[in-house]
Amino acid sequence: MVNQQYVDAVLAAGGAPVCIPVGLDDESVDRVYATIDGLLLPGGDDVAPSRYGGKPNAYLGDVDEARDELELALTTRAFDDDLPVLGICRGIQVLAVAAGGTLYQDLPTEFPGPVRHEVREFGRKHLAHTITLEAGSRLATALGCTVARVNSFHHQAIRDMPDGFVASARSADGLVEGIEATGDRFVVGVQCHPEELWSATAPEFARLFKAFVDAARQRRLDLRSSA
């Protein structure tokens, strides 16, 4: 499933969301992929450790091998085609793994520290902690700030950064909270859930969705002009 909040955020930013279900055959995936101008990777279950050379530990949550297969394949394809990509929560982790990075399977046991990253008991709009953004990064430029408050309900996160990416945001304990590809590509991931925040709680995140949709629109225009 895809939460309605993702759909609403893309619509409000001027995009037309197309949901890609798990279970399509290759020809159907090709046809859907040919219609999209950007790829949004939403939140969800844990990424299987086998995807980044790891072995499951006792605290690994649910995994969906079919979803991993689809999203990693689409992400790799998007990299090759310079398709704009926005990864959210699980999505930032898929971005990292697709590019060769690794993950913490469980933060409380592998990255203990002063910041609680799994606080969903307070609600999806609860601003749990602060992140610091790198000045001049694509993420900071989109949000218009270098410090932001975010919601937080994840127990996995990026361990080893992939080549070709930089960490554009971190929490106070040093955990990566945002990444982006180097160069001119719009490939951005955030560990929080901005789809829950953009409309009222933290309206600066509306600008992130707009930046993503604008990048997708520009790619479409560029392709038309070069045809």
Out of 89, 129, 155, 180, pick the active-site residue.
Answer: 89
* Per-residue pLDDT reduced to its tens digit, 23-44: 999 999 999 999 999 999 999 9
Q: Domain of 126?
A: 4-226
pLDDT at 208 exceeding the cut of 90: yes
The domain that contains 103 carries what CATH number? 3.40.50.880
The amino acid present at 64, given as its one-letter code, is D
Distance, CA of 116 to CA of 183 (rounded, Å): 33
CB 27 within 8 A of CB 73: no
Rounded to the nearest 5°, which phi and psi values hold at 162? -80, 155
Catalytic annotation present for 69: no
pTM: 0.97
Active site residue 155: no
Is 195 catalytic? The answer is: yes
Mean pLDDT of the region 183-208: 96
What confidence tier does 137 reach under pLDDT thresholds 50, 70, 90? very high
The pLDDT assigned to 32 comes to 96
Instruction: Enumerate the H helices of the chain as residue ranges.
Output: 4-12, 26-33, 65-81, 90-98, 107-110, 138-143, 206-226
Bigger pLDDT: 120 vs 157: 157
Catalytic-labelled residue, pool 117, 129, 155, 193 = 193
Q: Provide the pLDDT for residue 199.
A: 93
In tens, the pLDDT along 56-115 reads 999 999 999 999 999 999 999 999 999 999 999 999 999 999 999 999 999 999 999 999
pLDDT at 1: 76
Q: Domain count of the chain?
A: 1
Q: What is the pLDDT of residue 2?
A: 86
**Complete DSSP assignment for 34-81:** TT-S-EEE---SBPPGGGGT----TT---B-HHHHHHHHHHHHHHHHH
Q: Given 71, 177, 180, 195, which residue is catalytic?
A: 195
Looking at residue 227, its pLDDT comes to 73
